[in-house]
Structure 1
Amino acid sequence: MLLLTFPVSRHFVLKSRIWSSCCRRTAAMSTLLLNQPQYSWLKELGLKEENEGVYNGAWGGKGEVVTSYCPSNNAPIARVRQATIEEYNETVIKAKEAWKIWADVPAPKRGEIVRQIGDALRKKIKLLGHLESLEMGKILVEGVGEVQEYIDICDYAVGLSRIIGGPILPSERPGHALIEQWNPVGLVGIITAFNFPVAVYGWNNALALICGDVCLWKGAPTTSLTSVAVTKIVAQVLEDNNLPGAICSLTCGGADIGNAIAKDERVDLVSFTGSTSVGKQVALKVQERFGRQLLELGGNNAIIVFEDADLTLVTPSVLFAAVGTAGQRCTTARRLFLHESIHDEIVEKLAKAYAQVRIGDPWESETLCGPLHTKQAVEMFLSAIEQGKCEGGTIVYGGKVIDRPGNYVEPTIMTGLPHDSPIVHKETFAPILYVIKFKSEEEAFAWNNEVKQGLSSSIFTKDLGRIFRWLGPKGSDCGIVNVNIPTSGAEIGGAFGGEKHTGGGRESGSDSWKHYMRRSTCTINYSKDLPLAQGIKFQ
């Protein structure tokens, strides 16, 4: 049985010299959550006091030691030894060798391996969900749901493994055929963020595998335990099928490993999820070597509510989109545009709804909002609140740090700011919602599009014409364009991603699999003649 107590997590890099004293090491071990009886279930995931953060068929890790902290109380959970650059290079070599074997496996057979990965995750879904809640800080139902998302994309990829490919095209030349051939790109470097440490890897991993690619994963340093636990599950499936473990490699690390992946010509595709500022650096490094990139970056998402909206849908939708995961989703609603005729009514309803949100232990079933991931996130929250006030904003609800252990803040509603205020145009990874009045459809659509990011957006209306204008070329410029639902909660069947400073990449469903493959157009002459282009003939 899983015994529940406070959770949350943060990471702090510890230099090896700190642990030179055996006495200090022993004392540190005794304070780890992993050694407390109520957290003994962590060992069922293969975790221990100090974990190896490198996997390439064998486990290792000779780099700096990172301690993972629980965001609910900032207590240390366990430690991970990161990869050195030498270990990174060794892992890339082994991954490239593993690709030679994996690429020869037929796609439906690769799908069978992905099916087994999904089944293995099902067996550990509650344990992984608890770990993610403990280490990242999201509420338990979200942690378990995120593992389910990896399972779902595995199921999706299994079916996809039997239909990926290109068309046979009609040729204008007699006795000729045109074939669009798709082949794996090779090695996919996957760099993921702290806020979705399981699902985003799953989106990339499942599709890359059925496409015939091998994967090299660098998760966020602050969720390294989750990266290790997931890799152990995947590695066991590969081992059970006598396949090289380096097909799904892991190199835990910081900026040094991320830079190495971005600059490495041996990495055929770099999939990066994170902030726009870091994503820009990654993009420049990858482009400099003419490599492929798949970027999933920031989002400054807006909900627009028109005067004809079904108001019974608005309050729960805004609450879910703005407060869910403590405002740390890339699809979190950060801007709320309300028609002037309903502005005051909705703000009043939202303030009452916010007052009923239970903030606290992510493992308690009634909790709707857990902590922020790190103390640094709390500082950014406070900074944004102060900047908003300086720019003319008024706090309607929240705006404070909660006086309790952990990284807890009050979900916040701020009104009175102009639509183009600097703070409104800045993505703050915290539960802060800026509420702004508008007068016309044209005004609201333009304000939605004026920020640099273009991830998710939503309108609430019953006007059919407006809905299709919103979906059309002069409507939302985002990659996710919703109607009468929140900005968050995307389904795996559709492509996930955004435009502009969000990066332009697409993951998960639709034809996102094409990112992980290269295509060639093949002309086959099965006749005895040789008709040449432009009608050229040789005598």
Structure 2
Amino acid sequence: MFTSTNPSDTNEVIATVPEATAAEILTVLRTAKNAQKGWAKLPAPTRGRIIANVGRLVESNKEALAKLITKEMGKVYSEALGEVQEVVDTCDFFLGEGRRLYGQTVPSEMQNKNLFTFRMPIGNVFIITAGNFPTAVPSWYIVPALLSGNSVVWKPSEFTPAVANALTAIFHAGGVPKDILMTVIADGGQTFAALESGLKEGVINKVGFTGSTEVGRKIGAKAGEYIQSACLELGGKNPMVVMPDANIDLALDGALFAGFGTAGQRCTSLGTLWIHESIYDSVLAKFVALVENAAVGDPFKDVLFGPMISQKYLDNHLTHLKMVQSHHKVLGSTSTGRITAANPRKGFVGDPDKGVFAHPVIVAGITKNDELYSTETFGPLVTVGKFSTLDEAIDLANGHGYGLSSAIYTNDPQNVWRFREGISAGMVSINNSTSGAEAHLPFGGNGLSGNGSRQSGIWVLDQFTRWQSMNWDWSNKLQKAQMDLIEIKHDPNFVLKI
């Protein structure tokens, strides 16, 4: 059994659920695989209507689902409401795609012959997601996968089983058959063992994974052994560049939200704030003041961020603090590490000893040679460095190999276009934070942040469908492509005379 507790009050049990073994997950995968063909026979517009039902049910249960997110993983309630809205938006977008799973009619090079293309479902999809966005990110996989005619086995984070079971119940209430969307709670070891068995047996036709680069590399390699390309949405070390002509107050608002919202536990969280050397000291001082005065604590109150998702995530944050070097300046708080009565934070909201809360930390003076420069910290820790030219800023923003999200604050169009062209990230924000996504825009990264696959919008359909081509020859004779061409003549000796 796995016990899920409230990270704001670890004595409060949110749910106790059975953990599945690899053998049990494999049984679930077989069940979903066997049911998939029946689901695919439903007309796509009908599947779209079911997705519409799910969206309306999520919308009508928005507050209850958001409260459960806040209680189970500690996200500030206003952010949790926004996350649930993302599920609604995703359903609203894809209900229409049920009527737009278009193929094409393609002209043939031969007479009396027609060419067509069709989107076909892949089969059974194994989805593995993290606990930082327990509803929004899963919906990016589940909704388009179901809409396209696939069955889904979802393995959510073991730290958010109550949210996972609630979201699954909503899908089922909306009309998704229980053997078409099946949810299992398991640890990483059992999950990976089931993944390997399912790929070998052929009951997994696509793998979708959101999580760390380290684990994503293993999943991608295992899928590749079975001639599959996994959909990988991995970590980030997301840069934010502040130019001298920027609206500084706006940039600082963006840095505060991107760096410390959800306690820095987003794949799109701000990694390093790169400030032009001419404004470095003044901007850093203002950023430090904002962080020092930000409210931290009870996520149901008006705070910047609440607890870490669990003790595991706090331990990970403490490990990253050990990477601070002597040439760095640690700012933003009078202390570091866990917030407790013995290690207090000014203005803390609530009782720190009940939960797993961490001090926000700014590490200034970061350089390209530092371990923190190239490490995704995934906690309330933002590094800060300086640059002299935009070319240098782009080099610093790309040098660690991650390529998920990025941002630049400037009012000069030349800076905008040079940054967009030079940055390796899959997502670019201009005068906005590194965090934030809309349901109809592609989401995903490159390099260490992913294998180029994209979620959301029409682009994710390429992850959950395969193109099928058909040629229909009604000439009543064998026509051979590239051989039986219609002869076209021209005059090779023509010369234009003026």
Q: Is the 8 A contact 1:259 1:282 kept in 2?
A: no
CA distance in 2, matches of 1:341, 1:318: 18
Aligned mate of 1:455, from 369, 382, 404:
404
Q: Percent identity?
A: 34
**TM-fit CA distance, 1:536:** 5.2
**TM-fit CA distance, 1:425:** 0.8
CA-to-partner distance for each residue in 1:43-80, whole Å, 9 max, x for gaps? xxxxxxxxxxxxxxxxxxxxxx0000111121232211
CA distance in 1, matches of 2:138, 2:454: 13
Where do 1:428-447 residues align within 5 Å?
428-447=377-396
SS in 1 for 2:323: helix
Residue 274 (str. 1) matches residue 208 (str. 2): no
Q: Is the 8 A contact 1:263 1:286 kept in 2?
A: no
CA distance in 2, matches of 1:346, 1:510: 39
CA distance in 2, matches of 1:145, 1:534: 55
Q: Report the counterpart of residue 122 of structure 2 in structure 1.
A: 185
Which segment is superposed worse, 72-81 or 448-457?
A: 72-81
CA distance in 1, matches of 2:482, 2:288: 71
**TM-fit CA distance, 1:424:** 1.6
**TM-fit CA distance, 1:289:** 1.2
Q: Report the counterpart of residue 264 of structure 1 in structure 2.
A: 198
Residue 425 (str. 1) matches residue 374 (str. 2): yes
Where do 1:70-89 residues align within 5 Å?
70-75=6-11, 76-89=13-26
Where do 1:322-341 residues align within 5 Å?
322-341=259-278
Q: Is the 8 A contact 1:461 1:484 kept in 2?
A: yes
Q: Report the counterpart of residue 48 of structure 1 in structure 2.
A: none
Q: Is the 8 A contact 2:57 2:174 kept in 1?
A: yes
Q: Report the counterpart of residue 477 of structure 1 in structure 2.
A: 424
Residue 397 (str. 1) matches residue 332 (str. 2): yes
**TM-fit CA distance, 1:339:** 0.4
CA distance in 2, matches of 1:436, 1:192: 32
CA distance in 1, matches of 2:433, 2:75: 19
CA distance in 2, matches of 1:134, 1:83: 24
Residue 169 (str. 1) matches residue 103 (str. 2): no
CA distance in 1, matches of 2:303, 2:429: 27
Q: Report the counterpart of residue 134 of structure 1 in structure 2.
A: 71
CA distance in 2, matches of 1:209, 1:471: 34
**TM-fit CA distance, 1:355:** 2.2
Residue 515 (str. 1) matches residue 463 (str. 2): yes
**TM-fit CA distance, 1:262:** 4.7
CA distance in 2, matches of 1:423, 1:263: 37
Residue 377 (str. 1) matches residue 313 (str. 2): yes
Q: Is the 8 A contact 2:47 2:146 kept in 1?
A: yes
**TM-fit CA distance, 1:244:** 3.3
Residue 244 (str. 1) matches residue 244 (str. 2): no
Residue 490 (str. 1) matches residue 437 (str. 2): yes
Matched to 1:81, the amino acid is P
Where do 1:46-195 residues align within 5 Å?
65-75=1-11, 76-195=13-132
CA distance in 2, matches of 1:419, 1:165: 47
CA distance in 2, matches of 1:411, 1:526: 70
Q: What is the TM-score of this pair, normalised by structure 1? A: 0.84
Q: Is the 8 A contact 1:189 1:217 kept in 2?
A: yes
CA-to-partner distance for each residue in 1:151-175, whole Å, 9 max, x for gaps? 1100100011111222222221122
Aligned residues: 465
Unaligned runs of 5+ in 2: 341-351, 486-498
Q: Is the 8 A contact 1:190 1:215 kept in 2?
A: yes
Q: Report the counterpart of residue 50 of structure 1 in structure 2.
A: none
Q: Report the counterpart of residue 413 of structure 1 in structure 2.
A: 362
Q: Is the 8 A contact 2:130 2:211 kept in 1?
A: yes
CA distance in 2, matches of 1:106, 1:342: 59
CA distance in 2, matches of 1:155, 1:140: 23
Where do 1:342-381 residues align within 5 Å?
342-364=279-301, 366-381=302-317
Matched to 1:250, the amino acid is T
Q: Is the 8 A contact 2:404 2:425 kept in 1?
A: yes
Q: Is the 8 A contact 1:262 1:282 kept in 2?
A: no
CA-to-partner distance for each residue in 1:241-286, whole Å, 9 max, x for gaps? xx63111111111121243125423110100011111111111111
Q: What is the TM-score of this pair, normalised by structure 2? A: 0.90
CA distance in 2, matches of 1:448, 1:263: 39
**TM-fit CA distance, 1:315:** 0.9
Q: Is the 8 A contact 2:6 2:72 kept in 1?
A: yes
SS in 1 for 2:45: helix
Where do 1:10-29 residues align within 5 Å?
none
CA distance in 2, matches of 1:224, 1:315: 35
Q: Report the counterpart of residue 479 of structure 2 in structure 1.
A: 531
Matched to 1:501, the amino acid is L
Q: Report the counterpart of residue 324 of structure 2 in structure 1.
A: 388
CA distance in 1, matches of 2:177, 2:244: 59
SS in 2 for 1:335: strand
Unaligned runs of 5+ in 1: 1-64
CA distance in 1, matches of 2:67, 2:477: 67
Which segment is superposed worse, 307-316 or 86-95?
A: 86-95
CA-atom RMSD in angstroms:
1.5
**TM-fit CA distance, 1:85:** 3.0
| Structure 1 stretches of 4+ moved >4 Å | none
Matched to 1:429, the amino acid is F
